Structure 1
Amino acid sequence: MGLLAPIFAISLAVVVVSGSHQSYPGTSSRPILSDSEANTLSESNYFQGWSPSAINVPSKGDYVVGSGQTYTDIQAAVNAAIKAGGSTRKYIQIMPGTYAQTVYIKGSVPLTIYGSGSSPTDVKIELTQGADLSTSSYVNQVNPSGSRYKDGDPAYSTYSDCASQSSGTIGTTCSSIFWIMSDNVEVYNLQVRNKYASSSQGQSVALKTDADKITISNVYLISYQDTLYLGSGKQGVVQRVYVDNTHIQGDVDFVFGGGTGVFNKVAFTAVSDRHPSGAVIFAPSTHPTNSYGFFVINSVITGDSGFLSSKKVSLARAWDAGVSTGGYVAGTSPNGQLEIRSTRIDGVINADAPYTTATSNRAYSGNAGTSRNLNDNNYNRFWEYNNSGDGA
């Protein structure tokens, strides 16, 4: 894990050290936005009227978790805060330490959950929990002796659903270590890690959001496949997430989902220890009527020593959720939307062919026309603007 500190330091103060050589309209393998097109796909448009503010935390939270504190279990503090009710934001402070547990947030109370250490790695929330975990093993791990999730608790139904999956294994969604199902939640200054490391292509979510107006700041998110899962992508459902000053690490589709995410000053790091032959960073599954999927700005896209200068990492592929091979229908099927701008892209990416085939086996098709419709679902909706670096 020694890679984390220097990469995260870069993300805190991203400086694009060389000018962009990306020119409109780009190519069909790598479309580049014009200035006017970039204005229509601005950060404020992705926020859709929301103005997230910087996270400010008190020296002592309303609920304190740690050895010798009122709460020794994060879920217990979350439950207490939600059961207390009200519309005033409540602060859950986590003292330094390692917390081998899941955290499910489900309710209507605005919460800020923050680590009180000097760096995100001082507070570690982690488990080994792959999608292929049996439901019985999940129960024993997540709810030992039935003490963490009880009937009547805010997130009991979520736990119960995961524990009773008909397949006998928990699946991708229930592999999540930290799962946000409440609007207006802030997460600050901690690390969430799914330690599942099978050599197979097993899904293992570190953090999942199924809510609106979520802010994640100064956080490490670590896994391999499916590290960060944003939203469901249902038509008409707005689920906005703002991620800043954060490190996200993985190898396969490690930022994915159907929600809207804005990433500012984020370090995305592809790791090669499981699959040195290649990696995929983004896998959006945006609803075809939603113009705003993932927006990346002022960030760094890089890899570990096994990938640096390798050109083996793909920036993105479309996650055509629910679409079988050859079954994509333009305007009906999901069509991931992604914009990367003013970001340093290292030589881990093949600059001539940065995108790859969708999960439905739909070949990548970029639109390099000069009178193009940025939301033409006959094409992929992956765009870049003003990026720099050997992979740009």
Structure 2
Amino acid sequence: MTHFPSKRLSRPGVVLAAVAGLVAALGLGTVGEAHSAPAEATATAPRWSDRAHGFASLAGGTTGGAGGKVVTVTDQASLAAYAAAEEPYVIRIAGSIAVEPFGADIAVASDKTLVGVGDTGEIVHGELHLAPGTHNVIIRNLTIRDSAVEGNWDCKDTDFDGIQMDTVHHVWVDHNRFSNICDGQLDVRKDSEYITVSYNRFENNNKTFGLGWTTDVKTQITVDHNLFANTKQRNPSVDNAAYAHLYNNHLTAQADPGDPVWTYGNWSRGRTKMVIENSYYQDVQHPYQADATAELVERGSVLRNTTGRHDEWGAAFDPRDFYAYRLDPAAAVPALVGRFSGPQRRIGGAVTLQVPGDYPTVQSAVDAVPEGNSVPVTVAVAPGVYREKVFIPAGKPNISLQGTGQDRSDTVIVYDTPAAYGGSTGSATVRIAAHDVTARHLTFSNDFDEAAHELNAEQALAVKTTGDRIVFEDTAFLGNQDTLMTDSPRLDVISRVYIRDSYIEGDVDFLYGRATTVVERSVIRALSRGSDSNNGYITAASTWTGNPYGFLITRSKVVSDAPAGTFHLGRPWHPGGEPAAVAQVLIRDTELPAAVKAAPWTDMSGFSWRDARFTEYRNHGPGAAVTADRPQLDDTDARTHTVADYLRGTDDWAPHARR
């Protein structure tokens, strides 16, 4: 844009206080009340979190592939390559992958997250294998099934497990379904430590879930909210674990009158210390039992039609000495586990990347999103000031940037580049070229200090967009000249931007570009540059002449500390003298301050404002007026210049209707 020299003094620095900590995870996570929640409250509570809980949350925690690239696989070769790679990956498994040869292993290396997309991700006829030394692995939202050999129920001559791990640490197995596996559905072996197994469905098996194969007493394991149905034994069997905490599990249909010895529920073996809380046993032989050398404490469980051993002896341990957790009442367990265990559409259907928890910077999280991304990715940004530039390229759609603080000012992305160093585009702190990007609860700032520099190009953008279907909600844009540019890839391409419940400040052309842009229910602050005659311009639209909808500011409030009659509502920008860029701006149902000039529209670079499409409608406040220099939209045209009209396009986009 044309440079307009600044005459105002540098405004005082704004102190941006960071709010410590991140909002607690949804559902049953690492933080929760120590008391049992009422059944009515727990029936509708969310049952998934992106953070491991229980023993897997201790000693540094279990984060899986966080910090690595996010990839989606649909075939065995791709899965095997990414799962075995040295670097971290979040591996999304889409659809069913049949492993060949039958019963073969997929090796899983350290620092990996394997997660099913929606509820359709499957591993069929194969095993996920974690070799000794593997650590920091998350396996979620998958179905692992059908490696059983017909007629070989006991499987002593095969070792086709669903998941097998040997001498590993920090593993979280969550929201999976295991069915019809030859040998163990889940085998946690040989001194594996810091394990959590939660919200899984173990179904239709003989030897289901075993732990041990060692004389050492090292393993720490949490087993909660799992279903064990039609599983004959090892539900689980826990041998020589230092600490085994089992709570809110549902065991059903283990009774087998033909085999009264080896059909059982939970078994505390060797020197295991086991605590069972608020679980539900129905039609189970030997619901819980313990070796004479082991310890088992049980409290709060419900037993229906159970027979055989109900062993309880020793003091075991207190799980709350290690971590906080929330118990559901035992009576609610069948409904809760039935509804929320196993793969869930909402877990694998979207991805959340934590900054700085998973990635050190906002840009590094964006870099982790794959090209051509087709699923929603939320970059959750913790409170703080992030001095960096962020670019979302055109090939990475469906991204949401979301601050997690209590206020948008808690989470700030800021840089200080002027147009003199790289042009207007290069000055932008945040640049969005992709479609379908949303930003919420954030502040975007370019804090370049005009008064401290003598430059010929002082424009300094906080944000530039060129993508379509961009939403800013509860966001702030801080700058001076050219604060926010909403643009499109070229003149005759229409991009749409919707800004709601937000704050925009600046002085010269600080809301500009050719995108169709709606600003609704927001505050626009026109900053004084210290002049008693001309302090600047709010808008500088460059709308394509073939586009009837440019800028709409509606149901908003313009505020200013500039003297009365010193601020323009806008001027027509024709980039490079382009005659087909004919500004369209409508300001309606908006409060205007006394700072607005009596004749608020003005010419620019030889182009008359009267040839542009500048109108007002039903504005109010000390700066509002109806004169010959202030064209007004008539009532008929006002009915076709609404938020919906501006945003609809050919795809009926309606982000304003989501509330």
Q: Which residue number in structure 2 is paired with residue 373 of structure 1?
A: none
> Could you tell me how far apart the structure 2 residues matched to 1:345 and 1:269 are?
10
1:184 to 397, 415, 436: 436
Preserved contact between residue 234 and residue 287 of structure 1 (Cα < 8 Å):
no
2:566 to 312, 333, 336: 312
CA deviation after TM superposition for structure 1 residue 209, in Å: 0.4
CA deviation after TM superposition for structure 1 residue 86, in Å: 3.8
CA deviation after TM superposition for structure 1 residue 129, in Å: 0.5
Q: Which residue number in structure 1 is paired with residue 383 of structure 2?
A: 96
Q: Which residue number in structure 1 is paired with residue 353 of structure 2?
A: 63
Preserved contact between residue 266 and residue 299 of structure 1 (Cα < 8 Å):
yes
The question of 1:303 aligning with 2:560 is answered: yes
Q: Which residue number in structure 2 is paired with residue 268 of structure 1?
A: 524
Preserved contact between residue 351 and residue 376 of structure 2 (Cα < 8 Å):
no
CA deviation after TM superposition for structure 1 residue 262, in Å: 0.7
Unaligned runs of 5+ in 2: 1-10, 16-349, 625-659
Q: Which residue number in structure 2 is paired with residue 287 of structure 1?
A: 544
Preserved contact between residue 572 and residue 608 of structure 2 (Cα < 8 Å):
no
1:343 to 590, 596, 610: 590
CA deviation after TM superposition for structure 1 residue 333, in Å: 3.1
CA deviation after TM superposition for structure 1 residue 202, in Å: 1.0
**C-alpha distance after superposition, 1:278-337 (max 9, x if no partner):** 111000001111111001110011212xx1x521000000111111xxxx7xxx431110
**What SS does the corresponding residue of 1:345 show, helix, strand or coil?**
coil
**What SS does the corresponding residue of 2:619 show, helix, strand or coil?**
coil
CA deviation after TM superposition for structure 1 residue 192, in Å: 0.7
CA deviation after TM superposition for structure 1 residue 4, in Å: 9.5
Preserved contact between residue 81 and residue 109 of structure 1 (Cα < 8 Å):
no
CA deviation after TM superposition for structure 1 residue 236, in Å: 3.4
Preserved contact between residue 477 and residue 484 of structure 2 (Cα < 8 Å):
yes
Aligned in 2, Cα 1:189/1:109: closer, same or farther, shift over 3 Å? same
Preserved contact between residue 488 and residue 494 of structure 2 (Cα < 8 Å):
no
Preserved contact between residue 442 and residue 474 of structure 2 (Cα < 8 Å):
yes
> Could you tell me how far apart the structure 2 residues matched to 1:227 and 1:249 are?
7
**C-alpha distance after superposition, 1:85-127 (max 9, x if no partner):** 5412111100011111000001243011100000011111111
The question of 1:380 aligning with 2:612 is answered: yes
> Could you tell me how far apart the structure 2 residues matched to 1:388 and 1:258 are?
27
Preserved contact between residue 172 and residue 204 of structure 1 (Cα < 8 Å):
yes
CA deviation after TM superposition for structure 1 residue 82, in Å: 3.2
Preserved contact between residue 131 and residue 204 of structure 1 (Cα < 8 Å):
yes
Q: Which residue number in structure 2 is paired with residue 51 of structure 1?
A: none
Q: Note the 1:204-283 alignment, pairs <5 A.
A: 204-232=460-488, 234-273=490-529, 277-283=534-540
Preserved contact between residue 301 and residue 343 of structure 1 (Cα < 8 Å):
yes
Preserved contact between residue 233 and residue 258 of structure 1 (Cα < 8 Å):
no
Preserved contact between residue 119 and residue 189 of structure 1 (Cα < 8 Å):
yes
Q: Which residue number in structure 2 is paired with residue 391 of structure 1?
A: 623
Preserved contact between residue 467 and residue 488 of structure 2 (Cα < 8 Å):
no
**C-alpha distance after superposition, 1:245-271 (max 9, x if no partner):** 110000000000011101101111111
Preserved contact between residue 233 and residue 287 of structure 1 (Cα < 8 Å):
no
What is the letter of the counterpart of residue 315 of structure 1? L
**C-alpha distance after superposition, 1:204-260 (max 9, x if no partner):** 000010110000010110000000001147343120000011100000000000111
- Give the TM-score of the pair, scaled to structure 2: 0.40
> Could you tell me how far apart the structure 1 residues matched to 2:575 and 2:449 are?
24
Number of residue-to-residue matches in the alignment: 274
Aligned in 2, Cα 1:274/1:347: closer, same or farther, shift over 3 Å? closer
More strand by share: 2
Q: Which has the higher contact order (CA 8 A, sep 6+)?
A: 1
Q: Which residue number in structure 2 is paired with residue 27 of structure 1?
A: none
Q: Which residue number in structure 1 is paired with residue 601 of structure 2?
A: 355
CA deviation after TM superposition for structure 1 residue 380, in Å: 1.8
> Could you tell me how far apart the structure 2 residues matched to 1:125 and 1:211 are?
20
Q: Which residue number in structure 1 is paired with residue 265 of structure 2?
A: none
**C-alpha distance after superposition, 1:151-198 (max 9, x if no partner):** xxxxxxxxxxxxxxxxxxx01111011000000000000111001121
1:81 to 333, 348, 369: 369
> Could you tell me how far apart the structure 2 residues matched to 1:316 and 1:82 are?
40
**What SS does the corresponding residue of 2:425 show, helix, strand or coil?**
helix
Unaligned runs of 5+ in 1: 6-59, 134-169, 366-378
**C-alpha distance after superposition, 1:344-376 (max 9, x if no partner):** 0111102x3011112x222332xxxxxxxxxxx
**What SS does the corresponding residue of 2:620 show, helix, strand or coil?**
coil
- Give the TM-score of the pair, scaled to structure 1: 0.66
What is the letter of the counterpart of residue 103 of structure 1? V
What is the letter of the counterpart of residue 297 of structure 1? T
What is the letter of the counterpart of residue 389 of structure 1? G
> Could you tell me how far apart the structure 1 residues matched to 2:435 and 2:573 are?
25
CA deviation after TM superposition for structure 1 residue 275, in Å: 5.6
CA deviation after TM superposition for structure 1 residue 70, in Å: 1.6
Preserved contact between residue 523 and residue 559 of structure 2 (Cα < 8 Å):
yes
> Could you tell me how far apart the structure 2 residues matched to 1:177 and 1:275 are?
28
**What SS does the corresponding residue of 1:92 show, helix, strand or coil?**
strand
Aligned in 2, Cα 1:291/1:233: closer, same or farther, shift over 3 Å? farther
**C-alpha distance after superposition, 1:7-50 (max 9, x if no partner):** xxxxxxxxxxxxxxxxxxxxxxxxxxxxxxxxxxxxxxxxxxxx
**What SS does the corresponding residue of 2:369 show, helix, strand or coil?**
helix
The question of 1:127 aligning with 2:383 is answered: no
Q: Which residue number in structure 1 is paired with residue 580 of structure 2?
A: 333
Identity of aligned residues (%): 30
Preserved contact between residue 341 and residue 387 of structure 1 (Cα < 8 Å):
yes
